[in-house]
Chains A and B, each alone.
Chain A
Amino acid sequence: MTTARGSAGPRGPGVRSDCWISVELQERGGIELNVRSKVEVLYGASIRQQLLDGLRALEVEHARVEMEDAGALPYVIDARLETAVRRALPDLERELLPPLRIAPSATARDRFRRSRLYLPGNTPKLMVNAGLHGPDAVILDLEDAVAPAEKDAARCVVRNTLRVIDFLGAERMVRINQGERGLDDLNWIVPHGVQLVLIPKVESGAQVRAVASRVADLCATVRRQEPVWLMPIIESAMGALKALEIATAHPSVTSLAIGLEDYTADLGVQRTNQGSESFWMRSQVVNAARAAGVQPIDTVFSDVADEEGLRASVLEARSLGFEGKGCIHPRQIRVVHQALAPTADEVGKARKIVLAFEEAERQGLGVVSLGSKMIDPPVVKRALHTVQLAIATGTLTPTWREA
């Protein structure tokens, strides 16, 4: 008798909100469950039923199933079960989709993307509360934060997370892998409500178009209406030189992001805190992004404990023209938002310009003027942005006109 076996998920004493599941396929005998759960009293019966239902959905009739559960939520159990079965049966066609809780929705192309909280794709315990910390976006990461052997497991977790977890208005981003694997990643996320895809290590417009084309095919297949935005990441010398080509490669590109670890390695230099080695590249990306009408977005600041260092880094990025920063810990979100907030002086000027603009509109005037000065349309646009930013940061109330 030949048996195939697959297992998925972490096990051991340190595990929380996750589970390990092993599936050993049998030729007869039905399903045999052996479940050890930290929440046995509260959800033991429900967990067993879920496993039976999941195996039926995956058309597994005979198997020995073992589970060590450290309080995994149901959508995580589904992901681990599917991965375990898939590892036993690599050609499995069926999927085990948890019921959709998050209705697909569109995000605005030019919405704020000040903070993007990175969440490792195979670590579900970090996802459930991520939206509560108020980032502009979450990035479910399939690339660097996932070990090569766990890429398949992370796809299941990320897909189920997109379907189930409410990020409370944060834009739902996924960073896919490089190359062909990245294109395959799209199958797992585009039908399930991803709003923006980060493409790593982009060095040509063709790479962006390949992703856009696969996205378009998938959208057509599943009749998805909402846009899937793209954010290419520039993290090599070649990428830096082609920044404008990349930014203008496809209309779904909303932003250009940078990655400095790979970039400095490519240059053969050390990455420093003051960052003179990447100054040209960062300015090049900001210029390319602005020329293409997309947002320039800075990389992450990796010392979580160093709040002052983060603040200085964001202020420097802002002075170069960047509009956003990557975050690797929820504690960084507020610092980023504060550092990107307009100053009281900037807000004061912007308010005057916006009021003058609205007054001119009311009077049907084609020209906006403030005192004796004429105000150009780009200045008005900038002022509107400043006011919105101040409202988003909480330094200006939405009803400021009445005050």
Chain B
Amino acid sequence: MSEMIRNAAGRMVPTHVNGEPVVPFQGVGKYQPQGRKAGPPIPTAADFPADGDKRVATLKEALVRAGLRDGMTVSTHHHFRDGDLVANQVFDAAAELGVRDLRWFPSAAFPCHRPILEHMKRGVVRWIEGSLNGPLGDYASKGQMNGVAVLRSHGGRWQAIQDGEVHVDIAVIAAPTADAFGNATGDRGPSACGSLNFALADSQYADKVIVVTDNLVPFPCTPWQIQGNNVDAVVVMDQVGVPAKIISGTTQITKSPDRLLIAELTARFIRATSLYRPGFSMQAGAGGTALATAIYLKEYMREDGVTAAFMRGGSTKYLVEMLEEGLIGAILDGQTFDLEGVRSMRENPRHVATSPFTSYNYHGKGNFASIVDFVVLGATEVDVDFNANVVTHSDGRMLHGIGGWQNCLTAKVTILPIPSMRDRIPVLVDEVTTLVGPGELIDVIVTERGVAINPRRQDLIDQATAAGMPVRSIQEIKAEVEALCGGKPAKPRLTDEVIGVVKWVDGTVIDTIYRVDTDK
């Protein structure tokens, strides 16, 4: 077991993770990276067919040609979300080839990847490094995975690849449309899912890149999102994904009257600030409350004659409607959440596919996230210092990935609309179970019981108060909720067994996830 040290956030973190040394969190913006970016080996066109036809008959054969062997790191991507059909096939093929101890490095795992649990139990996959949702999160929570889960943001995943923290041996990219040279796009074809840009880093930095498609078009596939010059092989199969499943439950507008109340308060808060002005910008993620916020805000924008320069997101039909109505100048799209979003990206030049590099990567020459005026996010817990948690529940179990959440915190105003309690679970706590976002970056908590504004933001307190918003201290709301719930909740009993670490956007370790005592 690794030695533990206290990081700048006061959290105990391991000095080594899965045998590799790691840097403890040093404070927001404090860690200065050294050295040069990683890079794949230099290829030569002499090794590739001059006619550009890189087709290989099967995925298995492509993996063999890519040199798949024990202990390698293989990546796949989540642009089909719960409708991905490729990752499972990759590990089925690896199992047939008798390969073992692979590290799976997905941009995110979903319930559809449950079969990979079997591959883990049989030793084909040794551990997963990536967002763990659903059954895989449960498995890792119980400490059953060999190796420690490393939770990164979308931007952090790019940073880890680019900085050489994670070396991808083979990247397998599911592409709704591609040509035989490997140029690929997600915005068209029978399985169109939108942007493929979660796979962009892998296409640039992995040793070997395999594009898998169910819609082969004659060269050139334009416009492309993945450049064929980075691709080793192209495999054609019947179906790479189920686009209908990119619509998850989190992309439906909430019907709950309490959530609608929170969304309305959030939109009113935005309207009350001085940053709400012609040409403002915003990111509203998926999640019913964030979507409802956008709908309320749309009414205010119409009423006030205020249009936004751009909105970032998770695109949905609601954002597309605003774009088409002229309320927003452009959508900078990191992930497409429904089929209207896919259509708009294909047809509308002002609906632009962005990548974790442009939007989020902290080890770049700036990124879009900090340019955004308002970001609206969720959280499982927030503490009295405005620190927030998105990866564990109050009972200590690891249940969610980070997504772009950490990366978005650098917006000018970071707003978390969250219920103050979920059934009998208080959401406002003394200290978060797991620290994922430092309180100095979180400005506003909007609950159904009032709006708590970080004391660091007197400007926002003044603006909201002047507009008659129900501004209250976070302690006051928390006390009210605890009175209803029957006192402060007990803390989960955690073992000292480390089952995961949470990386900050710069690759340092911000917190540790321990196994819950009752699990296993």
Q: Interface on A for B, CB 8 Å cutoff?
A: 16-17, 38-46, 50, 70-74, 101, 125, 128-129, 132-133, 164, 329-331
Assuming A39-B424, A71-B425, is B448 touching A132 (CB within 8 A)?
Answer: yes
Is the Cβ of A43 less than 8 Å from the Cβ of B257? no
Q: How many residues of B contact A (CB 8 A)?
A: 24
When chains A and B are docked, how far (Å) is the Cα of A78 from the Cα of B483?
15
Closest 3 CB pairs of A and B: A71-B423, A42-B489, A330-B257
Quick check: A17 and B448 within 8 Å, CB to CB? no
Bound form: Cα–Cα A74–B487 in Å = 10
Whether the Cβ atoms of A50 and B395 lie closer than 8 Å is no
Q: Does B77 count as interface, using CB distance less than 8 angstroms?
A: no
Beta-carbon contact of B257 and A73 below 8 Å: no
Q: Which of B476-501 contact A (CB under 8 A)?
A: 483-487, 489-490, 492-493
- Interfacial residues, chain B to chain A (CB-CB below 8 A): 257-258, 260-261, 394-396, 422-425, 448-449, 483-487, 489-490, 492-493, 516, 518
Closest to A37 in B: B424
Interface of chain B: mostly helix, strand, loop or mixed: loop
Q: Shortest distance in angstroms between A215's beta carbon and chain B's nearest beta carbon?
A: 29
User: Which residue on chain B has the smallest CB distance to residue A126?
Assistant: B257
Give 9 A-B contacts (CB < 8 Å), ordered by A residue. Answer: A39-B424, A40-B395, A42-B424, A43-B485, A43-B490, A50-B486, A70-B423, A73-B484, A329-B257
- Nearest CB in chain A to that of B257: its residue: A330
Contacts of B423 in A (CB 8 A): 16-17, 38-39, 70-71, 125
Given contacts A132-B258, A132-B261, A329-B257, A43 and B424 within 8 Å (CB-CB):
yes
B residues in contact with A132, CB < 8 Å: 258, 261, 448-449
Is B425 a contact partner of A39 (Cβ separation < 8 A)? yes
How far is B492's CA from A44's CA once the two chains are assembled, in angstroms?
11
Given A128-B484, A132-B449, check contact A72 B424 (CB 8 Å): yes
Q: A165: nearest residue on chain B (CB-CB)?
A: B484
Q: How far is the CB of B360 from chain A (nearest CB, A)?
A: 33
- Give the complex CA separation of A132 and B422 in angstroms: 16
Q: What's the least CB distance linking A196 to chain B, in Å?
A: 23
A60 to B170, CA, bound (A): 67
Contact across chains for A331 and B260 when beta carbons are under 8 A apart? yes
Nearest CB on A from B265, distance (A): 10
Bound-state CA distance A46–B487 (Å) is: 9
Given known A42-B394, A42-B395, A42-B424, contact A73–B485 (CB-CB < 8 A): yes
With a CB–CB cut-off of 8 A, which chain A residues contact B493? 41
Select the residue from A45, A129, A133 with max chain B CB neighbours within 10 A.
A129
Supposing A41-B394, A41-B396 touch, asked if A129 and B424 sit within 8 A by C-beta, the answer is no
Chain A contacts for B261, CB-based, 8 A: 129, 132-133, 330
The chain B residue sitting closest to A329, CB to CB, is B257
In the bound complex, CA of A41 to CA of B141 (Å): 15
Residues A71 and B258 in contact in the complex (CB < 8 Å), given A41-B396, A45-B490, A46-B486: no
- Interface contact A73-B486, CB-CB below 8 Å: yes
Residue of A whose beta carbon sits closest to that of B484: A73
Distance, CA A16 to CA B489, complexed state (A):
18
A residues in contact with B448, CB < 8 Å: 129, 132
Closest-by-CB residue of B relative to A132 is B448
A80 to chain B, nearest CB (A): 14
- How many angstroms from the CA of A339 to the CA of B516 in the assembled complex? 54
How many angstroms from the CA of A44 to the CA of B422 in the assembled complex? 16
Residues of A within 8 A of B424 (CB): 17, 39, 42-43, 71-73
Q: How far is the CA of A164 from the CA of B485 in the complex (A)?
A: 11
Contact B483 A74 (CB under 8 A): no
In the bound assembly, the distance between CA atoms of A280 and B489 in angstroms comes to 57
- In chain A, what residue has the closest Cβ to B489? A42
Query: Inside 8 A of A50's CB, which chain B residues have their CB?
Result: 486
Establish whether residues B486 and A74, one from each chain, have CB atoms under 8 Å apart when the complex forms: yes
Which chain B residue has the least Cβ–Cβ distance from A70? B423
- CB contacts (< 8 Å) of B258 on chain A: these are 129, 132
CA gap between A197 and B489 in the complex, in Å: 37
Query: Which residue on B lies nearest to A46, using beta carbons?
Result: B486
With both beta carbons as reference points, the residue of chain B lying nearest to A134 in the complex is identified as B261
Whole-angstrom distance between the Cβ of A286 and the nearest chain B Cβ: 30
Nearest CB of B to A293, in Å: 35
Which residue from chain B places its CB closest to the CB of A397 in the assembled complex? B468
Bound-complex Cα distance A329 to B258 (A): 11
**A38-B423, A129-B448 known; A331 vs B486 contact (CB < 8 Å):** no
B449 → chain A, closest Cβ, in Å? 7
Nearest-CB distance from B266 to chain A (Å)?
A: 15
Docked complex Cα distance between A50 and B485 (Å): 13
Q: Is the CB of A101 within 8 A of B489?
A: no
Known: A129-B448, A164-B484. 18 other contacts (CB 8 A): A16-B423, A38-B423, A39-B489, A40-B395, A41-B394, A41-B396, A41-B493, A42-B425, A70-B423, A73-B484, A73-B485, A74-B485, A74-B486, A101-B483, A129-B257, A129-B261, A329-B257, A330-B261
What is the distance, in angstroms, from A266's C-beta to the closest C-beta of chain B?
33
- Tell me which residues across on chain B come within 8 A of A73, comparing CB atoms: 424, 484-486
Shortest CB distance B474–A (Å): 17
Residues in A neighbouring B489, C-beta threshold 8 A: 39, 42-43
A213 to B309, CA, bound (A): 67
Partner of B395, one of A41, A74, A128, A331: A41
- B492 touches which of A17, A38, A41 (Cβ 8 Å): A41
Contacts of A46 in B (CB 8 A): 486-487, 490
Measured CB to CB, the nearest residue on chain A to B397 is A41
Cα of A94 to Cα of B453 in the assembled complex, Å:
46
Bound complex: CA A101 to CA B516 (Å)? 35
Collect the chain B residues with CB atoms within 8 Å of residue A71's CB. 422-425
State how many angstroms separate the Cβ of A52 from the closest Cβ of chain B: 14
- B264 closest partner in A (C-beta): A334
Q: What A residues does B422 contact at CB under 8 A?
A: 71
Smallest beta-carbon distance A318→chain B, Å:
24
Residues from chain B with Cβ under 8 Å of A128 in the complex: 484
Most chain A CB atoms below 10 A, which of B394, B424, B518: B424
Query: What's the nearest-Cβ distance from chain A to residue B345, in Å?
Result: 31
- A329–B256 Cα gap in the complex (Å)? 10
Chain B nearest Cβ from A132, distance in angstroms: 5
A133 x B492 contact (CB < 8 A) = no
Contacts of B395 in A (CB 8 A): 40-42
Whether A42 lies near B490 (C-beta < 8 A) is: yes
Tell me the complex Cα distance, A42–B518, Å.
Answer: 13
B485: chain A residues at CB < 8 Å are: 43, 73-74
Instruction: Give every chain B residue within 8 A of A40 (Cβ-Cβ).
Output: 395
Residues of chain A within 8 A of B394, CB atoms compared: 41-42
Q: In whole angstroms, what is the CA distance A164 to B395 when docked?
A: 27
Residues of B within 8 A of A129 (CB): 257-258, 261, 448
With a CB–CB cut-off of 8 A, which chain A residues contact B425?
A: 39, 42, 71
B107 to chain A, nearest CB (A): 31
Give the CA-CA distance A342 to B126 in the complex, in Å: 69
Cα–Cα, bound, A70→B424 (Å): 8
- Inter-chain CA distance A330–B254, complex, in Å, is 14
In angstroms, Cα B483 to Cα A331, docked, is 27
- A-side contacts of B492, CB under 8 Å: 41-42
Chain B residue numbers with a CB within 8 Å of A164 are: 484
Of B257, B260, B484, B490, the contact of A41 (CB 8 Å cutoff): B490
Contact status A43-B486, CB under 8 Å: yes
Chain A neighbourhood of B449, CB < 8 A: 132
Across-interface contacts of A43 in B (CB, < 8 A): 424, 485-486, 489-490
